Amino acid sequence: MAYVFGGRRGPAALLLAMALLAGCKPGAEGGYNRVSWRGDPKMPATAFPDPPPVVPGSTAAGGGAQKIVAKNLPSGVTQAMVDAGQTSFGTVCASCHGQNGTGSPAAPKLADNQWIHISGQFPEIVNIINVGVAQPKEHPAPMPPKGGGNFNDEQVRELAAYVYALSHQGGA
């Protein structure tokens, strides 16, 4: 009986031959690297109009990076929470409520003291962010709980702080 790849070196020689046959040429993939899209994939590009729309009469008009400063924050609510909430707001809320809460056909403006469901107190804002709006009164589709975002309790309070600040910039 004859063995083609006999002896101890047989298996190693077979592997080497297979690697050569498979054509392992260096650089076959080329130097192309995929460039990942820098934005958050959840955010449609239209949520960040450049420059941001200026709403006549709105005190919230301006760039998305504009710092919102509330005049009379409720006790337990800090400017640091407002700032953190502003960042979170840009991830999901702005897609419906607009950058800086200026409103869109999908959701009401939050940068004013006109409210549909609440009177604008901080605990009410926390609550409505948590539960969402199953039955909108003036807009076509519901707001999911937490706007569909994955926020913990502290982040919800930060979002509420930002919404409170947006709607109380006049110090009212």
By CB under 6 A, residue 116 contacts ligand HEC: yes
Q: How far is the CB of 78 from ligand HEC (least distance, A)?
A: 17
By CB under 6 A, residue 97 contacts ligand HEC: yes
By CB under 6 A, residue 93 contacts ligand HEC: yes
Distance CA 101, CA 147 (A): 13
Distance CA 65, CA 102 (A): 14
**Residues near 130 by Cβ (< 8 Å), separated by ≥ 6?**
145, 146, 156
By CB under 6 A, residue 48 contacts ligand HEC: no
Using CB atoms within 10 Å of the CB of residue 30, give its burial: 0 to 12 exposed, 13 to 18 middle, 19+ buried.
exposed
The piece of 6-14, 59-67, 72-80, 127-135 that touches ligand HEC (CB under 6 A) is 127-135
By CB under 6 A, residue 43 contacts ligand HEC: no
By CB under 6 A, residue 92 contacts ligand HEC: yes
Residue 32 has, within 13 A of its CA and on its CB side, a CA count of 4
By CB under 6 A, residue 149 contacts ligand HEC: yes
Return the closest-CA partner of residue 144 out of 155, 154, 134.
Answer: 134
Question: Which residues are at the interface with ligand HEC (CB under 6 A)?
Answer: 92-93, 95-97, 106-108, 110, 115-118, 125, 128-129, 133, 136-139, 143, 146-149, 159, 163
